[in-house]
Amino acid sequence: MTSFLQNLWYWIEVYDAPLWLVTLFVLAGMLAWLVWQQRQFSRLRRHYQTLLGDTEGRNLERVLDHHLAQVQQAVEKARQLDLLVRELQRAGQGHLQHCAIVRFNPFANTGSDQSFALALADGGGYGVVISSLHSRESTRVYAKPLAAWGSAYPLTEEEQQAIARARGGEGVSTIS
């Protein structure tokens, strides 16, 4: 056993400087690792304190249960709002949402565009086309029902233009 100790002591004397350098590098590495671990722990602790910042001393399980209940309420509220939006979209299809007017002069002996064709329709193209023919002697008004952007009655060119503009969403406009 003494020869082993003698050999060990001899080996340490020969490699004294490299052993100190290796030991120094190992200690420096361990110190860097310890600093990194401390930073990670501090970051985790700050995050944990942020999560529990307004818990007023309650435990984490109660806080998480409270947050989960709030999330479930928000999901239910979003579902209800989605149903309401869909219902409003369906109801909105029946409301007046497309309209256009075309003014024109059907007679050469009148002074201006006093005649018109007015198209009023819902989202499905159901509604009415109202036409007015103005002359020096009289004004006549006609109404034709619309169903799916068409009519069972013959449509004039101006009425067709008014329907096309209403359907295209160009709104109120004038064509001579």
pLDDT, one tens digit per residue, over 20-51 is: 888 999 999 999 999 999 999 999 988 887 77
Burial of 175 from C-beta contacts in 10 A (0-12 / 13-18 / 19+): middle
Three-state SS for 67? helix
Task: In whole angstroms, give the CA distance from residue 95 to residue 82.
Answer: 20
Q: Between 137 and 153, whose confidence is greater?
A: 153
List the alpha helices (DSSP H) in 15-156.
16-51, 60-92
**Where is average pLDDT lowest: 31-40, 86-95, 167-176?**
167-176
Residue of 167 and 53 predicted with greater confidence: 167
pLDDT greater at residue 58 or residue 168: 168
pLDDT band at 174 (very low <50, low <70, confident <90, very high): very low
20 vs 23: CA distance, rounded Å: 5
pTM: 0.52
pLDDT for the residue numbered 170: 57
Contact 143, 129 (CB under 8 A): yes
pLDDT: which is higher, 54 or 73: 73
Percent of the chain with pLDDT over 70: 90
